[in-house]
């Protein structure tokens, strides 16, 4: 039978079905070929770019090197890669996007400080910024256009008006008083030292931001906000699980949050995205309360018309101050306790110096700093030894293509300072895991050259350096000096009377890391010192009384309204 006769013998719908199926197959094949060509072309671009950029592991199409990421603490992995490739810069692909990791202090200084005008922007951060705290937030703002740069300068200026170097000097009295209350709390319940540090740090920034101190370690304003900060700290640590896997597969972020469990609730529309969120409400509440005219929230509302501040910006500025200041400062103090427990020999020179300069009848004050060089060095070593912002905060991004040692760093690339690697480089810090304040004594044999005056890079670089650095340094010196002056930090004992060891590597996995819970025995160094702590602590509570107050807002219930 001829072909024509065969088709004539078939029912018409069979013929139509065959043609339709054949056509669909052609279309599907064409789509597959187009997709394959697109993937190959994109991969060719990735490999071309890789040939121009700093060395690093070989990426796969689409997923890059994401699948190679460790489950925890990727900054250690990037430090190892830097050693493997024998280079200060490495390129690591998160999906189709290259990230450049800086693992050396001098390179970080050259790129992020000396070329600050180029590395002043942020890259696109899908999870932390677009789905999280917002692209309008000062810490996330992209500054590639003039309007963006102008807005960044406004917000940066306003933040400096709150916690700039000159401004924080005005906070010394109540910051010192809150530190004295910490010492008193440690006498009464030393086992609760973490809660005492969190209360102290939260109360200081609450007084600055909203004119209200926080007196109870169990106040929800502490526990709830710090819990949120801990969660947020994990949203910029490269990972191969959701939600961070969205950076590798950004198309999945387009699915509405209510139908996308992999987004972990991020990107949910509501009050927080209209600016009238928790921190904005705290600021409004503070602005409406009489007294404390110099608190940060009232300043923002006074400047609102001048700078055309949106509610979102007031919320972000006050939230950054409150949230970041409470979490990072308390984590630094916990690290200080761990260092004192693990390296008790470093306290002996500090005690000798404090006893000679300060004595037992009073605790140290900022006026003593010039006469306490070892104490100053000890605090610097706290910042260096286990920096809280372990990958230097949010990533930088160049506003134009840049070159370093012949390597290309493309415009808008993620550029991250690996503070873990920088502060553990044997060249600058021999035996880096040993807590050794002598590194910061110029005359000491342990001192090594380091870029910049500080001797550490804990607070970031360039125009994106942490706005609260001066406040954090001032408060950390006050509190650590008072802790060393007042207390012995000894081993806790188990039920059989044996010392309980501590692990100096057992830290959390977030962007702002802190030690996992550990037990220590904290007791006053002498009866005279104990009496001084009681006397100063009671007077501090009297001096802080004008800041007492309550807030009607609770983060746990706020968004249920």
- In the annotated binding site, the residues are 466
Q: Are 120 and 463 in contact (CB under 8 A)?
A: yes
- Strands 414-417 and 487-491, how do they pair? unpaired
Tell me the two tokens of residue 558.
């706020």
Distance from C-alpha of 202 to C-alpha of 219, rounded to nearest angstrom? 10
Distance from C-alpha of 370 to C-alpha of 376, rounded to nearest angstrom? 9
Q: Minimal CA–CA distance to 171: which of 161, 158, 184?
A: 161
Q: Are 555 and 277 in contact (CB under 8 A)?
A: no
Q: Cβ contacts of residue 136 below 8 Å, gap of 6+?
A: 310, 312, 313, 316
- Does the bond joining 175 to the residue before it have cis omega, within 30 degrees of 0? no
Residue 99 gets which letter from DSSP? E
Q: 488-522: buried (b, 16+ CB within 10 Å) or exposed (e) per residue?
A: bbeebeeeeeeeeebebeebbbbbbbbbeebebbb
> How would you write 473-484 as a 3-class SS string?
HHHHHHHHHHHH
Binding-site residues for heme sit at: 466
Q: Are 64 and 99 in contact (CB under 8 A)?
A: no
- Which ranges in 411-493 belong to alpha helices (H)? 419-422, 469-486
- Residue showing tokens 């509405």: 256
- Strands 414-417 and 97-102, how do they pair? parallel
Cα torsion at 315, 316, 317, 319 (round to 10°)?
80
Q: Minimal CA–CA distance to 207: which of 470, 545, 514?
A: 545
Kindly state the greatest CA–CA separation across the chain: 116
Residue 96 gets which letter from DSSP? T
Q: Minimal CA–CA distance to 374: which of 386, 362, 389, 358?
A: 358
Distance from C-alpha of 464 to C-alpha of 450, rounded to nearest angstrom? 20
Cα dihedral 241, 327, 396, 303 sign:
positive
Q: Are 382 and 329 in contact (CB under 8 A)?
A: no
The strand pairing partners of 515, in sequence order, are 507
Tell me the two tokens of residue 368.
């003593």
Distance from C-alpha of 203 to C-alpha of 412, rounded to nearest angstrom? 38
Strand order in the sheet with 97-102: 89-94, 97-102, 414-417
């Amino acid at each position: 039978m001829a072909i024509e006769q065969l088709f004539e013998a078939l029912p018409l719908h069979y013929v139509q079905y065959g043609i339709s199926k054949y056509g669909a197959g052609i279309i599907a094949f064409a789509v597959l070929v187009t997709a394959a060509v697109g993937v190959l072309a994109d991969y060719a671009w990735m490999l071309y770019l890789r040939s121009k950029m700093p060395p690093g592991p070989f990426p796969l199409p689409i997923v890059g090197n994401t699948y190679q990421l460790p489950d925890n603490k990727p900054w250690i992995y990037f430090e190892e890669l830097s050693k493997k490739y024998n280079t200060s810069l490495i390129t690591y692909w998160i999906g189709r996007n290259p990230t450049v990791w800086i693992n050396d202090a001098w390179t970080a200084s050259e790129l992020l400080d000396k070329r600050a005008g180029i590395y002043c922007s942020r890259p696109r951060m899908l999870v932390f910024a677009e789905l999280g705290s917002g692209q309008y937030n000062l810490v996330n703002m992209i500054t590639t256009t003039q309007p963006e740069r102008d807005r960044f300068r406004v917000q940066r200026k306003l933040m400096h008006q709150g916690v700039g170097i000159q401004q924080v000097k005005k906070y010394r009295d109540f910051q010192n008083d809150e530190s004295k209350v910490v010492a008193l709390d440690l006498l009464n319940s030393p086992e609760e030292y973490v809660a005492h540090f969190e209360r102290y740090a939260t109360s200081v920034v609450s007084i600055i931001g909203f004119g209200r101190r926080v007196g109870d370690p169990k106040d929800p304003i502490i526990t709830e906000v710090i819990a949120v900060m801990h969660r947020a700290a994990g949203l910029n640590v490269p990972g191969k699980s959701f939600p961070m896997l969205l950076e590798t597969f950004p198309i999945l972020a387009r699915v509405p949050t209510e139908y996308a469990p992999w987004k972990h609730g991020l990107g949910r529309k509501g009050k927080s995205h209209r600016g009238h969120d928790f921190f904005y409400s705290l600021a409004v509440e503070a602005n409406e309360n009489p007294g404390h005219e110099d608190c940060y929230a009232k300043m923002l509302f006074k400047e609102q018309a001048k700078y055309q501040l949106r509610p979102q910006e007031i919320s972000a500025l006050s939230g950054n101050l409150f949230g970041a200041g409470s979490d990072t400062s308390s984590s630094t103090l916990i690290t200080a306790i761990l260092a004192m427990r693990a390296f008790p020999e470093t306290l002996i020179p500090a005690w000798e110096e404090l006893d000679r300069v300060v004595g037992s009848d009073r605790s140290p004050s900022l006026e003593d700093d010039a006469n306490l060089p070892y104490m100053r060095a000890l605090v610097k070593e706290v910042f260096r030894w286990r920096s809280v912002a372990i990958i230097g905060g949010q990533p930088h991004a160049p506003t134009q293509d840049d070159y370093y040692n012949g390597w290309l760093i493309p415009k808008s690339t993620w550029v991250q300072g690996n503070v873990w690697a920088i502060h553990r480089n044997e060249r600058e810090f021999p035996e880096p895991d040993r807590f050794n304040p002598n590194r910061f004594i110029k005359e000491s044999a342990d001192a090594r050259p380091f870029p910049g005056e500080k001797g550490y890079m804990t607070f970031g670089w360039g125009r994106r350096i942490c706005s609260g650095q001066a406040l954090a340094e001032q408060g950390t010196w006050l509190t650590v000096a008072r802790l060393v002056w007042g207390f012995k930090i000894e081993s806790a004992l188990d039920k059989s009377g044996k010392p309980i060891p501590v692990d100096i590597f057992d830290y959390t996995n977030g962007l702002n890391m802190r030690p996992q819970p550990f037990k220590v025995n904290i007791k006053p160094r002498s009866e005279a010192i104990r009496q001084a702590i009681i006397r100063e602590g009671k007077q501090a509570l009297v001096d802080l009384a004008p800041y007492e107050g309550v807030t009607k807002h609770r983060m746990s219930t706020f968004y249920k309204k």
